[in-house]
Amino acid sequence: MKLTEISIKRPVFATMLIMALVVLGLFSYMTLNVDEYPNVEMPVVAVTVLYPGASPEQVESKVTQEVEEAVNTVAGVEHITSTISEGSSTTVIQFTMETNSDTAAQSVRDKVSAIQASLPQDVKAPIISRFDPSDTPIMSLALTGNVSQRELTVIAEDIVTKRIKTANGVASAEVKGGVDREIRILLDSDKMSSYQLTVPEVLNSLRNENVDAPGGKVTDGRRETSLRAVGNMTSAEQFLNVPVGQRNGVQLYVKNIATVEDTTEDVTAITKLNNKPALGIDIMKQSGSNTVQVVDNVKAHLDSIKKELPAGIELAIVRDNSKTIHESLEDVQFNLIVGAVLAVAIVFLFLGNWRSTIISGIAIPVSVIASFLAMKILGFTLNTMSLLALSLAVGLLIDDAIVVIENIVRHLEMGKNKFDAALEGTNEIGLAVMATTLTLVAVFLPVGMMNGIIGQFFKEFGITVAVSVLVSLFVAFTLTPMLSAYYLDHSEIKGTSKLGRLWIKWNNKFDTWTAKYGKFLTKVLGHRRTVMLVAVAMFVGSLALVPFLGSTFIPDADTGEITVAATVDPGMSVQTVSEIADEMSAIIHNNPEVKMTYSITNATSIDILTEITPKSERKISDVQIIEDLREQLSDIPGVDISVSKKSGMSSGKPVSLIIQGPEMETLADVADQVKLIVKAIPGVVDVSSSYEAGNPDVQVVVKRDQASDLGISAASVADTLQTMFNGKVVSSYKEGDDAYDVKVLLDPATRSSLSSINNIYLSSSNRGQGGQAAMVGLSQVTDTVYATSPAQIKRYDNQPQITISANLNGITLGDFNKEYDKKMKGFTMPEGYSFVAAGQSKSMNEAVTSMMMALALAVLFIFFVLASQFESYLDPFAIMLALPMAIIGAIIGLLVMHSTLSIISLIGIIMLMGLVTKNAILLIDFAKQRRADGVERNQALVEAAVTRMRPIIMTTLAMIAGMMPLALGIGPGAEARAPMAHAIIGGLITSTVLTLIVVPVVYTLLDDVKNGKFSLRKKKGPAVQED
């Protein structure tokens, strides 16, 4: 090869070329962003609309359906999901992966703007946001102390968040569980009734008496002066003296019908750290920022922030994503280094020479470091997947160098000088090495080009492996032969030291095994029918083992964190729910393995992040801890509890069943039946439904005839009720640089009684004799109806839906799906109602479809490479027979290691397709060379097998050694990555053994087909000469 010749003749040039790659790679490594997972861009847009005081049913009919109808016409919409609760609607629009996120967001914004005027008057401006993984908190803090929540909120906002926002890379710092100051004007309905004052009169008066507005400009010659009308209240008490109307010639003021309270807004969420009152602070990074660096920047500010806090106030870190990233990356880096050391040790075992070992081993650091340059150019980050790619590739990166240097050593042993041995040894094996590398590239490029979110997730994995093996090929054709020509000493290969003598002993033993293998292969070639029958039986038998594996989307990992979530019976107050959360936290803390709990509670749900002792410091698994907590928490009444591992690559419960239909009542009946069926399946736990019926609902129904006669509109009834019972912000009160809401509503005592409705008056459009508006009691024009309404409504693709979800304990998702399908065979759905694929089952099906397409492309590209290499359409099939031989071991490897079929193990199986062809290529390539020299076919095959057995075993053991640390799954979260190595190692073992036997047999069969002599019977040919 010209490249090899240039490298040998110009060693300084070759060295500088490699050094340039290394220097650029090191520079790229230092500037790469660090994250836990690759950046995945999902074209998802959310529309959030607030409708204060409205019931879920009102929000659905007046807001959500309008939004859905508008955005449904946007190009590229795949699914629309809406979640509706009291006063709030969130519609999530999922677009096809090909859709540009910016274009989608703008189209949604335009559609929503077009319907905004048709939404109810009290609806807040819709908020349109794009999904961005960086919008999730990278770090959470908890602020605690023996002060009120309001005081904690002031400290959090004025000290903590202000300082954190100055940290480089921080996008925002949001306070959770805080309460803002609020000026409340509490109306007395009895006094308003006695004065016959209406709510609109009070609201208008307050708006008109607290103003700060521009008043234009005065121009005097060349001077221009701005005017401003300032009528701000300077104290909360001044609101008492605002005039609200006249009755019988007497001026009435706010103080006549209300009191003013300088207080805080209603508590909607309560946060606690280890069952003590706290405030949460969620920190988000700027898009594209380095997660680890941003967290480090925040931590650098924390010490100085803590010094500014008042006495008794403490600030603690409760969630730190950089910790998980550090642990995952350190684990992968450890696997990479240990794997490299083991792979190099295997090389030394076979070559028995430090110089040859070092020359071949250099390929690993050079290829890994140079890969960082490609990652930088392609915009990749240092994450678990890209480093996992390099960790798995360690054994591959040394393969090309092993094959080249082993052949150079063989030529040296023929008596050639170092320069001729380096050049001719590399040239002889060059095309075969190139073909083996290109088959790997042919496998990993389709992996990096898979469709969907899974495709984006594995893009960096596939391309990183492809790039790294291409670099290793370049090293094998340049640096390896050059160093061999100048530094490989043939005399050292024999070895005179004690270590050398041990190596010679081992080498002689290996040669004996090789000779025996040659004799065995000679016999095998005479029993082709038996060989093929055994191979087919083994393959079919392995496929029969697949049902015993079980299947899941992504394997569980022990990260040291557990999530305890709960939904409560409808109608509870936030304080009541918080008391339940306290009881749950106390039970959780009774477990000796629990280190910390951090809870966030609202009126409908409880979320408790639970940190447990690190995996390396405890004797029991996180699964056992989860089972214990689930059992202990099950006795709490009125609560639907779910205990699970912290979500990693997958999110939500593994079981998710969506039932869709037009009527919520029928939908709820179907959901109840399905829920019972799911609960009856062994191993299913934490079964829950998204439908929560039973929220107390009092409907004040307008009697339209009476209201019309008395001059009362339905809108005025709704507006008055909303103000009195939900409150309405009418103005703001400024103090310094801060502004606080001024809210009007009934006083708490009256607001808690429905009878207060009888004392509310409305202003009629009809006029009395004096021209004044007549006053009409609310009870005159309304009836009160008691009912219930759902606490939450969910919709999917413009129809109501209910989701049944569950966790699994002791069974896989595949096991559940089989049992569920069996139980649902006799289930009849009402007309117009259907199940929708959702959750991890849907994700797994989509992922498997993408992977099967990637696998098909990989096999096709492998054929293209092999056909090009051997200039034959038939010979590649002999090599490709190694593919099913690898599947045998992959299945056995997963079964023995108790791993399941998942997207991780499937990626390992796809990876095998490229790995296992390497050995067959080396064997067939040499056999064809020997046949070209005039050697009989069977003898050529035996010579090829004997000659190539050493590099085949070396490269296989090097690959296995490189992946062994990953297969053991020791570090935090390593269990999720280990199945990939289990599949690869198992496949390498069986494919290597069977390749050395089956591939020569198949080659002879195909050769017979080519020559028109096909037969499975024993072939008589010239005897094979043995050494």
Contact assessment for residue 144 and residue 280, using Cβ atoms and an 8 Å cutoff: no
Q: Are 888 and 802 in contact (CB under 8 A)?
A: no
Is the Cβ–Cβ distance between 160 and 266 less than 8 Å?
Answer: no
Which tokens belong to 334? Answer: 């450890």
pLDDT reported for residue 1021? 46
Q: What's the pLDDT score for residue 993?
A: 86
Distant-in-sequence, close-in-space partners of 883: CB < 8 Å, separation ≥ 6: 859, 912, 913, 916, 917
SS (H, E, C) 322-388: HHHHHHHHHHHHHHHHHHHHHHHHHHHHHHCCHHHHHHHHCHHHHHHHHHHHHHHHCCCCECHHHHH
User: Which of 449, 499, 441, 508 lies closest to 471, judged by CA?
Assistant: 441
Question: Which residues sit opposite 794 in a β-bridge?
Answer: 83, 801
Residue type, 854: A
Q: Which CATH class is domain 500-556+841-1027?
A: mainly alpha
Q: Write out the two tokens for 6.
A: 């240039």
1-31+364-494: CATH, from 1.20.1640.10, 3.40.50.970, 1.10.3470.10, 1.10.3720.10: 1.20.1640.10
The residues near 513 (Cβ < 8 Å, ≥ 6 apart) are none
**Alpha-carbon gap, residue 925 to 930, rounded angstroms:** 9
DSSP 725: I
Q: Are 875 and 866 in contact (CB under 8 A)?
A: yes
Q: How far is it, in rounded angstroms, from Cα 180 to Cα 264?
A: 6
The candidate with the shortest Cα–Cα distance to 641, out of 571, 595, 580, is 580
Residues of the chain with pLDDT under 50: 493, 1018-1027
Which pTM does this prediction carry?
Answer: 0.78
- Positive or negative torsion for Cα 196, 198, 204, 207: positive
Written as one string, the DSSP assignment of 40-96 is ----EEEEEEE-TT--HHHHIIIIIHHHHHHHTTSTTEEEEEEEEETTEEEEEEEEP
Distance of CA 221 to the CA centre of its chain: 66
Residues 6+ apart with CB under 8 A from 355: 487, 488, 489, 492
Single out the residue of 642, 646, 689 nearest to residue 668, CA to CA: 689
Q: How many angstroms separate the CA atoms of 247 and 254, rounded?
A: 14
Task: Using CB atoms within 10 Å of the CB of residue 617, give its burial: 0 to 12 exposed, 13 to 18 middle, 19+ buried.
Answer: exposed
Looking at residue 114, what is its pLDDT? 92
Tokens read off for 572: 């509870």
Give the model's pLDDT for residue 1024. Answer: 43
Name 641's bridge partners.
566
Stretch (H or E) spanning 420: helix 418-448
Contact 339, 391 (CB under 8 A): yes
Buried b (16+ CB within 10 A) or exposed e, 119-136: beebbeebebebbeebee
Q: What is the C-alpha to C-alpha distance for residues 141 and 652, in angstroms, rounded to an integer?
A: 24
Q: Alpha-carbon distance 31 to 290, whole Å?
A: 10
The fold of the 181-216+228-264+696-789 domain, in CATH, is 3.30.2090
Residue 837's CB: how many other CB atoms inside 10 A? 12
Q: What are phi and psi of 621, to 5 degrees?
A: -80, 165
Question: So what CATH class is 43-130?
Answer: alpha beta
Q: Where are the alpha helices (DSSP H) in 89-238?
A: 101-115, 149-155, 161-164, 189-195, 199-209
CB 375 within 8 Å of CB 323: no
- DSSP H helical ranges for 837-874: 839-870
Within 10 angstroms of residue 758's Cβ, the number of other Cβ atoms is: 14
Q: How many CB atoms lie within 10 A of CB 694?
A: 12
Domain positions in the chain = 1-31+364-494, 43-130, 181-216+228-264+696-789, 500-556+841-1027, 561-695+792-840
Helix (H) or strand (E) holding 218: strand 212-220
Token pair 């319907």 is found at 115
Cα dihedral sign, 578-579-580-581: positive
Q: DSSP string spanning 300-320?
A: HHHHHHHHHSPTT-EEEEEEE
CA-CA distance, 824 to 678, in Å (whole number)? 10
Amino acid making up residue 1024: V
Q: At what angle do helices 384-397 and 363-377 cross, to 10 degrees?
A: 140
Both tokens of 313, joined, read: 């106030």
Round to whole Å and give the CA distance between 888 and 224: 89
Residues 6+ apart with CB under 8 A from 498: none
Rounded to whole angstroms, what are the CA distances from 340 to 394, 405, 479, 979?
A: 6, 17, 18, 20
Report the candidate in 726, 705, 704, 720 with the shortest Cα–Cα distance to residue 762: 720
Q: Which residues are registered as beta bridge partners of 314?
A: 144
- For the chain, the C-alpha Rg in angstroms (whole number) is 37
pLDDT of residue 770: 57
- Among 893, 904, 954, 907, residue whose Cα is nearest residue 342: 954
Say if 181-216+228-264+696-789 and 500-556+841-1027 have the same CATH topology: no
Distance in angstroms (rounded) separating the CA atoms of residues 422 and 416: 9
Residues 944, 522: contact at Cβ < 8 Å?
A: no
Architecture field, domain 561-695+792-840 = 2-Layer Sandwich (3.30)
